Amino acid sequence: MKRTVFILVAIAAALVSCDKIESDKPLEESAVRSDSLFYSGTLLANASSGDCTTPDMKVSINLTFKSDSVSISLFKAKLAQRMPAMDIVIPNITMKKEADVTLLTSVRAVPLAMGNEFPAYTVTGFNGRINGDSLNFSLSFGSTPTSFNGKIIK
């Protein structure tokens, strides 16, 4: 049943593919397509300057029509204490269904922030799981190990 729902959602109108994200438009929650899945949870970034936690942070998984590639949007994420919170999009995440769990993986991806690529914080080792209402993932933003644990927003 969950698989059926997931496929239906995946078939829905897709986002513009990541490499065509319009850099001249701000990133807003309302701009994310309705076939996105929204989660709220805690982001923990183990920055060299000290751990930085963003509680109640929203994450959206943005589905692409007829594709197993998704992008993940992090809203108001703080990666270090000295940095302002930012909206970040991680493109080209591979999504794969295994039994009751959906796996999200990416070896390497250049995130987008402020409408442009942010190579200083290139994402490596992205591993995530959607299990029921929960979303968990870990990655490295540049040299900063980061993890997220959250629940779906219904």
Binding site for another protein (CB under 8 A): 23-24, 26-27, 76, 82-88, 113-118
Nearer to another protein, 105 or 117 (CB): 117
Who's near 18: CB < 8 A, 6+ residues apart? 69, 71, 89, 91, 92, 112
User: Rounded to the nearest whole angstrom, what is the least distance from the CB of residue 147 to another protein in the complex?
Assistant: 21
Nearer to another protein, 76 or 97 (CB): 76
Who's near 31: CB < 8 A, 6+ residues apart? 25
Cα–Cα dist 75/58, whole Å: 5
User: Rounded to the nearest whole angstrom, what is the least distance from the CB of residue 85 to another protein in the complex?
Assistant: 4
Give the strand pairing for 116-117 and 112-113: antiparallel
Cα–Cα dist 139/111, whole Å: 12
User: Rounded to the nearest whole angstrom, what is the least distance from the CB of residue 150 to another protein in the complex?
Assistant: 19
Listed as own residue / partner, the contacts of 120-125 with beta carbons closer than 8 Å and 24 or more positions apart are: 121/79, 121/88, 123/90
User: Rounded to the nearest whole angstrom, what is the least distance from the CB of residue 67 to another protein in the complex?
Assistant: 24
Nearer to another protein, 49 or 127 (CB): 49
Nearer to another protein, 82 or 151 (CB): 82
